[in-house]
Amino acid sequence: MSNYQKAIFNETTNTFNVTEFTITDWSNVQVLKGSIKKALEKTSNDIDIVVSFGKKLWETLNPAIKPAQLKDFATLQGKNGYSMPATQADLYFRIIGNDTALVLDQTIHIQEAVAKVAEVAISENGFIYKDHRDLTGFVDGSANPKEEKKYPAALIADGEIGAGGSYVFHQKWIHNLAKFNELPQAVQEKIIGRTKPDSIELEGDDMPKDSHVSRTDAKHDGVAMKIWRRSFPYGNAKERGLFFISYACDPFRVDIQLDRMLGNTEDGVSDQIMNYSEAVTGGYSFAPSVEDLTTALQ
């Protein structure tokens, strides 16, 4: 699986931007391709980019390669009154680096490159918060598969359509930190399912069934539904939260976690975290292998 977009697994950066676009002019495929190729020209060697495509755009650019599970995200309604909205876009860029100015330069370059064919749906900047913590104060991404195990979790397997590519899910969450921070640390830990200072997973009777860890640590037919998370915190005086990003070999791995969070499984249990954080966007896309991307943009 050496053909994947290398930036998917880059863990060395500390400043980020995600910008999602909707296509406004579908009339000329070659113009679309040229605009995206221009957008992918790096303004600095010190930044990296992951590009991914919604179903309609990918099938427009490369109709010969149709990953079997690629789909648009649909709004999810939970049994217990929670919901997750769909804000499906067409074109997604994740820009990463260690210099805010350079990430911004690339973000602006991308926007200008596609301005004649696409408009910005959402653009969010993020950062590493302290020692890789969410703004709730808990370490984020502790359950990521380690070392070589991340590749089969995140990438479509060799021999399958779209091999070396990845199904990507973007979802912006807004935290109610004032409400969460009113709680004693012991209660917060029950909500998350980990200790706050050192991120040790709770065990046995100490682990509630409705903790975030319990709801997202999913198995199906005995197989752990592992995904590769690349989420980042964002925040300012007005709004604070987490921009959730995941890469998976099959979007079912994300679907089952979302259903478990919403309480849409047989046990009917929802994730406690949804009392303190609200999903406000949601979209699936496909991050093709370098080879498939090159073919698509020819």
Q: Please identify every residue annotated as catalytic.
A: 140
Amino acid in the structure at residue 250: D
Rg over alpha carbons for the chain, rounded to the nearest Å, is 19
- Those residues whose C-beta lies under 8 Å from the C-beta of residue 150, and which sit 6 or more positions away, are 9, 144, 228
Beta strand extents in 29-86 (DSSP E only):
47-53, 76-77, 83-84
Query: What is the C-alpha separation between 83 and 76, in angstroms, rounded?
Result: 6
Beta strand extents in 176-227 (DSSP E only):
219-220, 223-224
Amino acid in the structure at residue 232: F
Amino acid in the structure at residue 164: G
∠ CA(236), CA(254), CA(234), 5° rounding? 10
Extract the tokens encoding 78.
């939970």
Amino acid in the structure at residue 40: L
Nearest C-alpha neighbor of 212 from the set 227, 245, 232, 190 = 190
Query: What is the C-alpha separation between 38 and 36, in angstroms, rounded?
Result: 5
Helix orientation angle between 100-114 and 29-39, rounded to the nearest 10 degrees:
170
Query: What is the C-alpha separation between 79 and 88, in angstroms, rounded?
Result: 23
Query: What is the C-alpha separation between 295 and 291, in angstroms, rounded?
Result: 6
Residue-wise over 16-51: b if at least 16 C-beta within 10 A, else e? bbbbbbbbeeeeeeeebbbbbeebbeebeeebbbbb
